[in-house]
């Protein structure tokens, strides 16, 4: 683990030593969120316009907040998943510090020595889809793609359990694009927890369907609903949205569920955590009984098993996870002790050769914004993303970070899912996550694909 010594000295490695129950779950200088529970629909942008002649383009409308007000999920003791509810002093689930320490494994059979059965050219898809895949630079499928695509092409229900960053999006987009190409009456509904993930999937979809005259619309909450209603007047092969906004549009009669015979539930565990279960059930209840359901999740819990049994029919189960956390992420703790956390972070970031592209996770929107400004005052190039920022502001921050114009991106957990940013060297948990699942998804922003990454967690 890292240990902080003097204010002027850089943190150094030391042997980890833990006494069960001795570590405090509070981070020094951190603020508690109390009963914050993101829900209903993700913070929004209006729907992006479609490509193609004669179709509306661009973004419209306003952006909004991150979701439903505090709800309060009860905290479960022991090793079960923690709660988001409680009073100001409730810091969420207790996570023993040893869970934040794990050396990266670079020789796991699943990740490094996995030999795919197929190349993308081998899949039973149309030549046009194959050419689009080749144009994207895809040649050898990842394990989840290799195993899932043949079953999706057969029309089977599929449950895919895979760590974040393993290519789940292409695992369902490639076969579903081919499905729509073969039957132009086919319409696909994709449900995701956040607007960032919805926009990312739509961007991937547009890259794979360029020139095919295949259209999509993104329907997310926290945004002006009118541009989305206007876009839904057109024939869309794909509708991508967050559960709350989709339910709203269905209730307004703008989406007719009987028209959709294929549905994708992506990041299902996150939607469950965010309180979307009733909205998910509402949508699924309105779907045709004779449908294809694809269900993707990074974790598998008893609650997720319940949803699988409720929503899917005799699904093919595919699991390519190598463990709770990515095997390619080297995980350690930084013992802050009595030092100022900002000073400790400052010393780490000075090592620019190693810490060249860093995501720092905080717990509250106010705390994240304050930390980003403090880092900027100290001479670091830092951006922030959180629920109080408009869509354009968040996209600008992400763009600057992706293009290496900023060394640091300070974020709330809204960024822990769905963001695919290349070459992130480190994830730093400045504030402890509320649950271990949140930790898993935070550190999944580094060590993606065949890359190796590092994750550090500040503890007292």
Beta-strand relationship, 382-385 and 408-411? parallel
Distance CA 281, CA 348 (A): 45
Query: 127-135 and 168-182 are packed helices; what angle lies between their axes, rounded to 10 degrees?
Result: 150
Lowest mean pLDDT among 255-269, 350-364, 441-455: 441-455
Q: How far is CA 91 from the centre of its chain?
A: 22
Whether residue 246 sits in one domain with residue 180: yes
Distance CA 189, CA 238 (A): 6
Average of per-residue pLDDT values in the chain: 78
Query: 76 with 82: CB under 8 angstroms?
Result: yes
Indicate the number of domains in the chain. Answer: 2
- Highest mean pLDDT, choosing among 103-112, 293-302, 397-406: 397-406
- CATH code of the domain in which 249 resides: 3.40.50.300
Please report whether residue 63 resides in a domain.
Answer: no
* 382: β partners: 408
287 token code pair: 């779907």
Percent of the chain scoring above 70 in pLDDT: 73
* 158: β partners: 294, 316
**Residue 109 pLDDT greater than 60, yes or no:** no
**Residue 166: domain span:** 120-319
Query: 27 with 341: CB under 8 angstroms?
Result: yes
Whether residue 294 sits in one domain with residue 169: yes
Whether residue 280 sits in one domain with residue 144: yes
254 token code pair: 């703008």
Contacts within 8 Å (CB) and 24+ apart, 71-80: 71/35, 71/37, 71/39, 71/275, 72/35, 72/37, 73/37, 73/275
Distance CA 190, CA 150 (A): 19
Residue 32 makes CB contacts below 8 A (sequence gap 6+) with: 26, 88, 89, 90, 91, 363
Tell whether the torsion through CA atoms of 394, 400, 403 and 409 is positive or negative. negative
Average pLDDT score over residue span 417-436:
85
Domain end residue (candidates: 261, 294, 319):
319
Q: What CA–CA distances, in Å, run from 202 to 51, 73, 170, 296, 334? A: 11, 31, 11, 17, 38
What local confidence, expressed as pLDDT, does residue 67 receive? 37
What local confidence, expressed as pLDDT, does residue 307 receive? 92
3-state SS string for 135-184: HCCCCCCCHHHHHHHHHHHCCCCEEEECCCCCCHHHHHHHHHHHHHHHCC
Please report whether residue 155 resides in a domain.
Answer: yes
Distance CA 266, CA 230 (A): 25
Whether residue 217 sits in one domain with residue 93: no
Query: 424 with 357: CB under 8 angstroms?
Result: yes
312 band by pLDDT with thresholds 50, 70 and 90: very high
Whether residue 155 sits in one domain with residue 91: no
Whether residue 153 sits in one domain with residue 96: no
End-to-end CA separation in angstroms for the chain: 12
For residue 361, what is the enclosing H or E element?
A: strand 358-361
- Highest mean pLDDT, choosing among 30-44, 100-114, 177-191, 286-300: 177-191
**Residue 112 pLDDT greater than 50, yes or no:** no
Domain end residue (candidates: 284, 319, 354):
319
Please report whether residue 78 resides in a domain.
Answer: no
pTM: 0.64
Whether residue 342 sits in one domain with residue 296: no
What local confidence, expressed as pLDDT, does residue 24 receive? 36
Distance CA 97, CA 116 (A): 36
Whether residue 336 sits in one domain with residue 310: no
429 band by pLDDT with thresholds 50, 70 and 90: very high
Please report whether residue 42 resides in a domain.
Answer: no
CA atoms within 13 A on the CB side of 385: 28
Q: Please tell me the total number of residues recorded for the chain in this structure.
A: 460
Average pLDDT score over residue span 371-376:
96
Q: Pick from 150, 245, 251: which is nearest to 191 by CA?
A: 245
321 band by pLDDT with thresholds 50, 70 and 90: low
Please report whether residue 60 resides in a domain.
Answer: no
Residue 347 makes CB contacts below 8 A (sequence gap 6+) with: 4, 9, 10, 11
pLDDT tens across 198-234, in order? 988 999 999 999 989 899 999 998 788 999 999 999 9
Distance CA 203, CA 402 (A): 15
Whether residue 135 sits in one domain with residue 214: yes
Please report whether residue 182 resides in a domain.
Answer: yes
Distance CA 163, CA 321 (A): 5
What is the spatial order of strands in the sheet that 188-191 belongs to?
Answer: 216-219, 238-241, 188-191, 262-265, 292-297, 158-161, 316-319
Please report whether residue 69 resides in a domain.
Answer: no
**Residue 375 pLDDT greater than 70, yes or no:** yes
Whether residue 124 sits in one domain with residue 245: yes
Query: 337 with 460: CB under 8 angstroms?
Result: yes
pLDDT tens across 386-395, in order? 878 877 788 8
Whether residue 395 sits in one domain with residue 267: no
Whether residue 348 sits in one domain with residue 437: yes
Domain end residue (candidates: 293, 319, 345):
319
Please report whether residue 5 resides in a domain.
Answer: yes
What local confidence, expressed as pLDDT, does residue 249 receive? 97
**Residue 18 pLDDT greater than 70, yes or no:** no
Q: If you write DSSP's letter for every residue of 71-108 in order, what string do you get? A: --PPPP-TTSPPPS-S-TT---S---GGGG-B---S--
Q: Pick from 158, 166, 95: which is nearest to 320 by CA?
A: 166
């Amino acid at each position: 683990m890292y240990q902080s010594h003097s204010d002027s000295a850089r943190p150094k490695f030391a042997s980890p030593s833990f006494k069960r129950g001795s570590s405090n779950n509070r981070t020094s200088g951190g603020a508690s969120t109390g009963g914050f529970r993101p829900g209903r629909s993700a913070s929004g942008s209006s729907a992006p316009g479609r490509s193609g002649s004669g179709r509306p383009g661009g973004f419209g409308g306003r952006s909004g907040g991150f979701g439903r007000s505090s709800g309060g999920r009860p905290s479960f003791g022991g090793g079960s998943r923690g709660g988001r509810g409680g009073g100001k002093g409730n810091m969420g689930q207790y996570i023993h510090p040893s869970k934040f320490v794990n050396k990266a494994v670079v020789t796991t059979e699943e990740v490094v020595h996995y030999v795919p059965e197929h190349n993308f050219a081998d899949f039973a898809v149309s030549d046009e889809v194959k050419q689009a895949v080749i144009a994207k630079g895809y040649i050898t499928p990842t394990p989840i793609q290799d195993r899932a695509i043949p079953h999706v092409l057969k029309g089977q229900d599929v449950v895919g359990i895979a760590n974040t960053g393993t290519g789940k999006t292409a695992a369902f987009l490639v076969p579903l694009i081919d499905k729509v190409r073969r039957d132009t009456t086919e319409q696909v509904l994709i449900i995701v927890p956040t607007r960032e993930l919805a926009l990312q999937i739509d961007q991937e979809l547009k890259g794979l369907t360029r020139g095919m005259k295949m259209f999509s619309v993104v329907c997310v909450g926290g945004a002006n609903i009118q541009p989305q209603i206007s876009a839904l007047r057109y024939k869309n092969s794909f509708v991508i949205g967050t559960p709350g906004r989709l339910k709203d549009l269905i209730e307004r009669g703008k989406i007719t569920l009987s028209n959709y015979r294929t549905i994708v539930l992506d990041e299902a565990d996150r939607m469950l955590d965010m309180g979307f279960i009733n909205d998910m059930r509402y949508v699924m209840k309105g779907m045709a009984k004779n449908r294809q359901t694809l269900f993707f999740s990074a974790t598998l819990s008893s609650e997720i098993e319940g949803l699988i049994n409720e929503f899917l029919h005799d699904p093919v189960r595919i699991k390519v996870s190598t463990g709770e956390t990515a095997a390619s992420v080297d995980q350690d703790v930084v013992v802050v002790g009595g030092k100022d956390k900002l000073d400790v972070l400052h010393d780490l970031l000075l090592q620019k050769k190693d810490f060249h592209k860093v995501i720092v996770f905080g717990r509250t929107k106010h705390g994240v914004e304050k930390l980003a400004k403090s880092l900027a005052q100290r001479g670091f190039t830092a951006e922030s993303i959180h629920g109080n920022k408009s869509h354009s502001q968040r996209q600008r921050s992400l763009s600057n970070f992706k293009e290496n114009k900023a060394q640091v991106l300070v974020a709330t957990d809204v960024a822990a899912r769905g963001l695919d940013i290349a070459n992130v060297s480190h994830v730093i948990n400045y504030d402890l996550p509320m649950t271990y699942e949140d930790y898993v998804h935070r550190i999944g922003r580094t060590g993606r694909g065949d890359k190796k990454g590092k994750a550090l967690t500040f503890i007292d």
